[in-house]
Structure 1
Amino acid sequence: MNRPARLNRVLLAILGLLLLAAGLLPIAIRSGWLPVLGPDRPLVPGTALPPTWVLYAAAVAGLVVALAGLRWLAAQLTRRPRARIWRFDTDPATGSTELSSSAAAKPFVEEVRSYQGVHDATAVLLGNRAGPALEIVVSVEHDGDPADIRTRIRTEGVPRLRQALDLDSLPARVELRFTAATGARVS
């Protein structure tokens, strides 16, 4: 459910390798492992300022890196798929019924939130009536029983939603997240 995770891992690995290379380069120069650059030679010849075009190129490169960083940051935001409209029409001459997928998932979410040990829950109904899918994210309290919650979702919640939507099958994917919150104590 965390779509930018693969991109994050690749970019972090590349950035890590670049930083590692940048850190090892001065060590390699100083110890003489790179004979092209001597340890006593300056990195750039002279002390004069570079040509103006070099400064502009560095500014553009910095801007491109900054914009790429902002794009990467924007990719980190949690994105939910947009709600779709499901049409229930067996005979167009008699009319049709339309239902928003977010409205269909709302009672299911409220039911899951009422389960013992659940702190919060969200669900997204994806696809259309011909190929539906349900993605559920449940925040479990630290004293909640994840196995029991998952079993109740599989045996009670999803079948009830499937029956309400008149679906033959409803593949569901459950992601459990744990929170430090505790449930109400009964004395």
Structure 2
Amino acid sequence: MNRFLLGLLGLILLAAGAAAAAVHLGFVPGIDRDAVLVPGTVLPPTWVLVVVAAAAVVIALLCLRWLIAQVPRRRISTWSWADDAGATRITTATAAAPFADEVTTYPGVRKVEAALTGPHTAPRLALVVRAHGDADLRGIRRRIDDEGLPRLREALGTPDLQATVEFRMTTSKADARVH
């Protein structure tokens, strides 16, 4: 809903700017493009114009940064181990996939997204569990902690693997977040 409203506001502002440009260029009949918009013709001091322009640039850059942050990014990194027998390389997505598949088989779970981040010496696991509305969240979390995570820790050789779990429930067609 938030992104929809922001997009709608952007479209309204874009239409207003296009309308102003059309009037300025004389494409709108019945409106005098040389007419005064506000009373008075004295320009403000130059420093006011510079401050307004600088503020507009800063606001535009902040908006651009926010917009870029909205794009979902999937970071896939590769972990490497080396020993006397050779080197092992594995992507974090490959390491997390069997764990996500296992958790998906738990009762009440519809889908699981798992992401391993950080170096292989101190990884972190982020889970997004999409569950049915009547699912036993405590039971799912207990199975993740008691069954799934110990196996993943053993498989990766990382006993200090930390995990965060976000549950997203489906009560109807809309998803609601439960943390």
Matched, 1:177 2:172: no
CA shift, 1:99, in A, is: 1.0
Q: Which has the higher contact order (CA 8 A, sep 6+)?
A: 1
Candidates 117, 120, 130, aligned match of 2:121: 130
Matches within 5 A, 1:1-187: 47-51=40-44, 53=46, 58-59=52-53, 61-80=55-74, 82-91=75-84, 94-180=85-171
Sequence identity of aligned pairs in percent?
43
CA shift, 1:178, in A, is: 2.0
Larger strand share, 1 or 2: 2
Higher deviation after alignment, 64-73 or 132-141: 64-73
Distance 1:62 1:89 in 2: 52
- Helix, strand or coil at the partner of 2:83: coil
CA shift, 1:75, in A, is: 1.9
- When the two structures are superposed, what TM-score results if normalisation uses the length of structure 2? 0.63
Q: Spell out structure 1 runs of 4+ moving beyond 6 A.
A: none
Which structure 2 residue ranges, 5 or more long, are not aligned?
A: 1-38, 174-179
The amino acid of 2:78's aligned partner reads I
Change in Cα spacing, 1:149 to 1:181, as seen in structure 2 (3 Å) is farther
- Helix, strand or coil at the partner of 1:89: strand
- Helix, strand or coil at the partner of 1:104: helix
- When the two structures are superposed, what TM-score results if normalisation uses the length of structure 1? 0.60
Q: Which residue of 2 aligns with 1:10?
A: none
Change in Cα spacing, 1:145 to 1:58, as seen in structure 2 (3 Å) is same
Distance 1:129 1:71 in 2: 30
Which structure 1 residue ranges, 5 or more long, are not aligned?
A: 1-45, 183-187
CA shift, 1:122, in A, is: 1.0
